[in-house]
Amino acid sequence: MAKRFRGVYNFAVTPTTDDGNKVNESALRDYLDYQISSGIHGVCLFGSTGAIGSFSVEERVSAVKAAVKHVNGRVPVIAGTGSIRTDEAVHLSKTAEADGADGVLVVPITYWPLTEDELYEHYKTIANSVKIPLVVYNNPWVTGVDMKPALLARMGEIDNIRYVKESSGNLARITAIRTLSRDKITVFDGWEPTTLQSFTAGSDGWFSGGSNVCPKLCVQLFDLAVEKKDVLAARALFDRMYPLMDFIATRSHVRVAHTALKLQGHCVGAPRKPLAMLGAADTAELSRLLESLDLLKTSKAA
């Protein structure tokens, strides 16, 4: 039986060397150890914070294989397998399954606007090609494609589509997805500034770019809000976290994550060009935000 996905899943950066030109799988293994030791419930490679569009099929396959082998069942590993072509997404998904990934996360990558029927057939074809769970990734801010609750509920009728990472920032979507799908679809939050509100609306997890910067705080927030249902304590914690979460969302997860990790002493390199580290002014502001949460004293404090 497939593992049930729940909790905080780190949307991992993709470590690089040579100014972003090469994937650093050794640093990836060290980084996954850091995340797991921080209490993270699962990891996802090649999401938005992992800069999915910056790496070739071969690089993605190799990194997922290395990650699955290294994690060795300690937490679930989900592989981002989105592609502009259905057949390539099928290939990436089947390869991830064969290499031991626990699930795949599929974002719609497209140059041409797709109809709802085209999106449905795209996801159905990918889902039917594997036995592991498929997580639908709705991120209209990045993709330009907004999959509405009714479409997601329709996708939920497909056997192994049971999860959505909902990153529209529209909190009404969470209740709509749950009710329209009759709770067949488990909603994961995907928009950092509304995470607390997402939990209170019924999200059962968080695919978190912010957990690259502060994994222990992210896990603590989930524990308070979802496990213990201590709304006041969760709100007090999120009030402290909010300026950083808002900064992450407005400055771009991948740029903030790579810059923050460098400030914290993690050797993950730079994003691949044309993406770049934050500029001087934003780096100074990020440093101030990290210091306000005691996240610069030591990398293990994060």
pLDDT tens track for 193-207: 999 999 999 999 999
Q: How far apart are CA 135 and CA 289, in angstroms?
A: 32
- The answer to whether the beta carbons of residues 9 and 18 sit under 8 Å apart is no
- The answer to whether the beta carbons of residues 31 and 268 sit under 8 Å apart is yes
Closest CA to 2 of 105, 132, 164: 132
pLDDT at residue 267 is higher than 60: yes
- The token pair at 172 is 């009404």
Instruction: Give the pLDDT confidence score for residue 302 in this predicted structure.
Output: 46
**CA dist 285 → 114, 241, 252, 290 (Å):** 39, 14, 14, 9
Q: Summarize the confidence of residues 82-100 as an average pLDDT.
A: 98
pLDDT tens digits, residue range 111-152?
Answer: 999 999 999 999 999 999 999 999 999 999 889 999 999 999
Q: How far apart are CA 20 and CA 277, in angstroms?
A: 11
The percentage of residues in the chain with a pLDDT greater than 90, rounded to a whole number, is 95
- The answer to whether the beta carbons of residues 142 and 48 sit under 8 Å apart is yes
Is there a cis peptide before residue 133, judged by omega within 30 degrees of 0? no
Give the catalytic positions in this structure: 137, 165
pLDDT at residue 301 is higher than 90: no
Looking at every residue in the chain, the average pLDDT score rounds to 95
Q: Summarize the confidence of residues 191-220 as an average pLDDT.
A: 97
Percent helix / strand / coil, the chain, rounded to 5: 50, 15, 35
Q: How far apart are CA 120 and CA 122, in angstroms?
A: 5
pLDDT at residue 52 is higher than 60: yes
- The token pair at 193 is 């500034």
Closest CA to 138 of 152, 127, 158, 124: 152
Instruction: Give the pLDDT confidence score for residue 122 in this predicted structure.
Output: 98
Q: How far apart are CA 235 and CA 292, in angstroms?
A: 17
Q: Indicate the class that CATH gives domain 7-297.
A: alpha beta
- The answer to whether the beta carbons of residues 166 and 134 sit under 8 Å apart is no
Phi, psi of 202 (to 5 degrees): 120, 5
Antiparallel, parallel or unpaired: β 16-17 and 22-23: antiparallel
Residue with tokens 């500029």: 279
Q: How far apart are CA 200 and CA 215, in angstroms?
A: 20
Q: How far apart are CA 80 and CA 64, in angstroms?
A: 9
Instruction: Give the pLDDT confidence score for residue 299 in this predicted structure.
Output: 47
pLDDT at residue 231 is higher than 60: yes
Provide the 8-state DSSP code for 107.
Answer: -
First to last CA, the chain: 33
pLDDT at residue 2 is higher than 70: no
Q: How far apart are CA 146 and CA 153, in angstroms?
A: 14
pLDDT at residue 1 is higher than 70: no
Q: Summarize the confidence of residues 145-164 as an average pLDDT.
A: 96
Instruction: Give the pLDDT confidence score for residue 297 in this predicted structure.
Output: 67
Closest CA to 104 of 88, 115, 119, 117: 88
| Domain residue ranges in the chain | 7-297
pLDDT at residue 298 is higher than 70: no
Q: How far apart are CA 132 and CA 169, in angstroms?
A: 27
- The strand pairing partners of 78, in sequence order, are 44, 103
